Each structure stands twice: as structure tokens, then as C-alpha cells.
Structure 1
């Protein structure tokens, strides 16, 4: 009879004399969680493909002989002037359609905080630490890089450049998950869940930055008025009212009030999402679908299939011909964005994950490698939707520097995605073999046996 392998050395706590157990970082989740992430990846793959088509179409049109038609369409003003809603189509896409995107993000956040990884402080520590470090370091690298490159510029001009410090801080959920779905078809669900949770926390930080740092002035009366339709929205959902036309009324009113207050209107979307009721017992039941889950599934196709691609179409149309690319390569803000996305995000997310393992009793799950974390950290540098939005808020839509920053966001995201692909494709081949063995080991219920074993206690 074979003897058991020798136990790993452990340390004893001086407080209680007991042997502490090592918490596993990025351990295998439940089968239900794995299926949810797989379904979400399939949805985001489609949305990411549509988003990419929209961005490429905008770039092609903006650099064609008919580029004036693109600018004319983007700047066409529609809406009632009496309500100060006579906005260009580009502004409607940024302020209106992106509010739908942030509504979905708000619902995801609520579900994560109530029934997901963020509801467990131990499990939440990792994505939160990684997300925070993945925001702070890119912002810091932007400031340092832009300051060094702009050596000799006046203090006023440098101050204008540094308004873009938050541009490289956001990870684009649709693009990042779409890339992961294409190159990481066999990666463990824990890695996919980590990227999803990281991106959700990233969005929360990004919308907070927008509300706090990119709001010039606030009309408190309009902001207080927004509380009324928000309360009505909450009461309707608590009463199980799900008619889209009924719910649209308080949602639109809340958006109008927030827009009129001077705070960016996308904040209304996040607030509406966070007010959607979430029942933990229903969320965790494998055969039940909660109200939040049903709303997310109804709204997500519109958000991923139209709202975000429409914003990308109006935001990504940058003219490269005629010296635009050369000018962008010399712009300190554009250089800072590129460095922040490619290097800042990778080092920040990787460093935050390492810090959690280094300064707590946690260690990386034995089935994973730090190379996996490096690949995801590189992939976090894919910034698009929110980065383009912050660029417009920092420098003004259609300005020369905004165009330079857009090119930097596109280029930096492409480099980050390519680097992540090199790392993750190698790991994907490894996990394809592992998954083949696990999938073959199934019972009649169709669930891999590895998910039916008692999970390790992370405590």
C-alpha cells in the first residue's frame, strides 16, 4: 500500500496554537459558476466582434475620401432644446447609450456583491486588490511618462496634458472577454471568473473617477431630483413589476436629472443597476433565475449588440492620414496612455495579485501557474470603451489631443491583446489536455466529476 506524500511544512499561530490552513487563490469554483462564466464569454464574444466591426468601420470611413460625411453624421444635433437635450449623435452615444452599458455593469456589481465572489471578503480581496493596483499604477505611469516626455512645456500646458491621467485605468469588459474567449477556450473557469470580476470592479472605480474628477460643476437641485425616479424604480422592482415600458419611465427621468445636474449621465446607469434587488438564495439555486439575472439577460443583448458598438462607431473615427499618426506618436498624452495600458496594467494587476499572496496566508491554486496570472494581467491592458469616454471628458470630443489619445488607446489595446495572446495560447494548449481528461470523467448527469467532489475549504 503506497504511503501518503509528505505533508507540506506549516507554521503555527502564536495566538491559538492551531495550524493555519493556506487559502487558495483562484481555486476551482462550482459547476454552476463555471457554466455561467462560459455562457457570458459566448455572449461577450459576439458583442466584442460587433464592437470591433464598428470601430474598424469608423476608422475606415474617417480615413476615406468621404471623411467629411462621417464628421457631419457624428456632429448632427437632435433632441429637444427646451430640456437642454439638443445633443450631437456622438454625445447621445456617449451620454445616453453608454448609460445602458453601465446599467448592465451596475447589475453585475450588485450580483457580485450579494451572491458572487465579492460577497466573500476573502475571495473579494484578490480581484479588488488587483483592480486597485491596476488603476493606480497605469495612472502613475501616465503622469511620470507624460511629464518626462513633455519636458520644457509650460506648467499650464502640462496641467492640461495630465488631465488624461485616468484614460489608461479601465479594462474593456467586452473586448477583453472576447479576446479571452477566442484564445483561451480551455483555460480554467477560475481565471475567466477572475478577469470578469476584475473588470467589474474596474468599472466601479472608473465610474467613480468620472463622477468625482471629471465633473466641472454640480447642480444639487437636479441631483436631488434624481432621487425621486430612482426610488420609484426601486419600488417597482420590489413589487415585481417588469414591464419594460413601465420601468423605462423612471429610468429615463433619472437619466435626465443626472445629466442636467452636471454629473456624467452614465452615473445614472450604475445607480439604476445597483438598485435592482438581488436575492442570494435565488441566485445560488441552480434551477431558478432571479429578477436581476433576467433583467441582465434582457438588457445585455441591446447593450453589447447596439449601445456599445454605436458609441465605438462615433468615438473611434480618428483621421490617421495626413500626419495624424505621426502627431500622435509625439504627443505626451498619447505616449503616456500607451505606456499605462501596456506596462501599467500588466504590472499593476500582476503586482496586486502577488501582494495578496505575499502578505496574506494565501497561495496560488496548485492547478494554476503564475504565467496564467501574467497572461490575464496583460489582457487587462485592453482598454477601449471607458478609456475613449474618459479621453473625451479630459480633452473635449473632437479635439486634436483627443484624437491622439484615441489612437493611443487603440494601439495600446492591440499591443496588450497580442502580448496576452502569446502567453495565454501556450497555457491554453496545456489546459486543453487537462480538460480532456476531466471531461472524459463524467457521470450520467453530465457534470464533470471534478466539480462534484467536496471543494477545498479556503479558510
Structure 2
């Protein structure tokens, strides 16, 4: 038991460091996509994304297949943190859980305040936090941000991801193919049986996971959710004859193997394929459209109000303890960084407005503007907050 406790902090630090680096790469990729989409290369950019490789376009391969790998990693992280990490007990879940709830509810309400009718379908777009982007900004601040706030942000973002997965499953599923859904259920049952039988090799899980992805893709439920379901069936606990869980657990091995390709290939590719909004070709009205304003306000105002307000309320009511060695201003800075909703927000925008390029573009403008403003404000507040809590010089 002592061995596990000693290993957990270093594992979390490795997680935070890799996410921070990936966030910086993600920023550069998103900026590149914007430049290309508004340059003479725009036509080539669109032609490549809409070109077909087999049954699907390049964009669909990225958004439906590669992003299933991203969701697989998300599912592995959720399971690990819930079983043996920063969310492994109720006392650890309470504050980030309450903050995440506020950070999802308030942006959705703000979006609803300026959107009615069909566009209200995009209410969930500003409800997610991009952990890679947020931690990328925090990495620029070095030791100015207490470790407790980094952990709080990581835990909150993981709960946010879980909430986004549930939202996608419940609200962005259209027609259902019952035979394919039954087939997917049979595959899940087989995966659970392998887990119960303590099958430790990853290859059988991944092969069945591929079959599951095909069946879920055909069923009408978004195919990326197959990644989350697969993650929940990957064994984490040790067999009795072993003692070093982190070194031998299939879940830890797969999570470790996926961090680099997901952080530095899958998510940047997704950003490059979806952040390229042809701003110069859009009418001026798109910049002030209800969807644009709803998303931008949800991220820039709704997220920090929800996260910070619910956190302060939870601490004042005695429901949770405040993060150690963190000032109220630093909490506000981190709450602002939660308004960076890039990857998951872009993904939900595609699901909310399928086939409507204008509404998707408006949502993307709102995501980019809101995330950029939230990131800059959060960075500035955290720099000022750091100076405020420094001890006076002798």
C-alpha cells in the first residue's frame, strides 16, 4: 500500500507535464489552421478534408475514428482517477465535482439566454473545459500556480469530460439501429467477461474494441463513445501474485502508450481539421450571431462564474476544503482558464449542428474568441495573484 502512495504523485506529475506540453502544441496547430483557412491554401485545405479515403472522408476519419482514440484515453483517465487517483474518494471529488457542475450549468444557461429555437441545440458547446489547453497556459506560469490548483483543475476537467460524454450519449444521438446496438452490447459483454476472467493481454481488448467501434458507428450513437466504453472494461487491478500495479496493469500500460500519440498527433490533427474557420469569407453578422455570442459568453463569463461561484459556495457551506496554499484570486484565475473549451467544444459543435456549415462556423468563432479571451485573462490574473501572495522582502 505504501508503494502505491509513493508512486501516485509522480504519476500525476507525469500526466500534468505531458498535458501541458500537448497544450502548447495544440495552440500552435489551431493558429496554423486559422492561417491556412484564410489564405490562398484554403481551397486545398477544404478539398483534402472532404476527400474520401475508402467509405469516409478525411474529416470523418479524424472526427469519428481518431477521436475515438482520444475518448479511449479520456475513459482510461476517468477510470484511473476514480479508482486510484485524485477522484478516488468522496472527499476528493466534492470540490472539483461541485465546481464542474457549476461550470457546465451556468454556461448552458447563458447560451440559452441568447438562443432560441433550433440554435438552442448548441447549449452544451461552452460546457466543456480543454485540459490540454488550460494546463498549457499554466505551464507558462511555472511555480506561480500552487500544485493544489493544478490538481484541482485536472480533476475538474476530468469530471467535465465525463459530463460531456454523458451529454453526447443522451442529447446528441439521433436514429438508432437496434441490430447494431444489440451487437455492440454483445461485444461489451465479451469485454466484461474477459475482465472478469483477468485477461491481462491488451490485444484481445483492442481487437474487440475495433469491432465495437464499427457497430457503434453503424448504430447511430456517436462512434467515439465506443472508446469510453472500451476504456471502462480494461483491467486496472493487479492479480494477487503481483505487487507493482503501475508497471503491470493493462490500464496503466495502455494509458502510458496513448499519451504521446493522442497529445501530439490525434488532438492536433483534430484541431487542424476543425479550427480552420474562413473568417474573411463570413458575413459580418456571423461575428455577432446568437450562436457566436452564446458560446463566447458561456466560455468567457459562464465558466468562471460557475466554477468560481460554486467552489466558493461549497467552501463557505463547509462542504469541501479550499485548495491548499491558494488565494481566492488564484482560484479565480484557474476558473477563468476553465473557459478554454477548445477540443471538446469543437467536437460538440459538430454534433449540435450537423450539416449546417454556417452555424458550425459561428460556434467555432465563439469557441476561439471565448477560449482565447479566457486564456489571456486567466494568465493575467494568475500572474497578478502570484505577486499578491508573495511574502514581503526583508
Correspondent of 1:127 among 96, 110, 127: 96
- CA drift of 1:253 comes to 0.6
Which whole-Å CA distance do the structure 2 matches of 1:365 and 1:389 have between them? 31
> Contact 2:74/2:228 (CA < 8 Å) preserved in 1?
yes
Residues 1:114 and 2:72 are matched in the alignment: no
The structure number with the bigger radius of gyration is: 1
Task: Specify the alignment match of 1:447 in structure 2.
Answer: none
Q: 1:430 to 1:62 in 2, by over 3 A?
A: same
Task: Specify the alignment match of 1:454 in structure 2.
Answer: none
Correspondent of 1:313 among 265, 272, 278: 272
Which whole-Å CA distance do the structure 2 matches of 1:369 and 1:123 have between them? 19
- CA drift of 1:286 comes to 9.1
Q: Pairwise mapping of residues 48-87 of structure 1 onto structure 2 (< 5 A)? A: 48-79=23-54, 86-87=55-56
- Deviation by residue 1:356-393 (Cα, 9 ceiling, x = unmatched): 21223544256221112111110000011111111111
Task: Specify the alignment match of 2:122 in structure 1.
Answer: 164
Correspondent of 1:412 among 342, 348, 370: 370
Task: Specify the alignment match of 1:16 in structure 2.
Answer: none
- Deviation by residue 1:137-167 (Cα, 9 ceiling, x = unmatched): 0000111133xxxxxxxxxxx3111111110
Which whole-Å CA distance do the structure 2 matches of 1:47 and 1:347 have between them? 27
TM-score, length basis structure 1: 0.78
Residues 1:224 and 2:193 are matched in the alignment: no
Which whole-Å CA distance do the structure 2 matches of 1:375 and 1:259 have between them? 39
- Deviation by residue 1:182-227 (Cα, 9 ceiling, x = unmatched): 2244422221111111111101111111111111122222112112
Which whole-Å CA distance do the structure 1 matches of 2:135 and 2:238 have between them? 25
SS across alignment from 1:406? helix
More helix by share: 2
- CA drift of 1:280 comes to 8.2
TM-score, length basis structure 2: 0.90
Q: Pairwise mapping of residues 269-284 of structure 1 onto structure 2 (< 5 A)? A: 269-279=227-237
- CA drift of 1:112 comes to 1.4
Q: 1:186 to 1:232 in 2, by over 3 A?
A: farther
SS across alignment from 2:87? helix
Residues 1:239 and 2:204 are matched in the alignment: no
Unaligned runs of 5+ in 1: 1-29, 80-85, 147-157, 435-459
- CA drift of 1:108 comes to 0.7
Q: Pairwise mapping of residues 29-428 of structure 1 onto structure 2 (< 5 A)? A: 32-79=7-54, 86-146=55-115, 158-236=116-194, 238-243=198-203, 246-279=204-237, 288=247, 290-324=249-283, 326-360=284-318, 362-364=320-322, 367-397=325-355, 399-428=357-386
Aligned-residue CA RMSD (Å):
2.5
SS across alignment from 1:368? coil
Aligned length: 385
> Contact 2:50/2:58 (CA < 8 Å) preserved in 1?
yes
- Deviation by residue 1:27-71 (Cα, 9 ceiling, x = unmatched): xxx764443332222211222222223222221111112211111
Unaligned runs of 5+ in 2: none
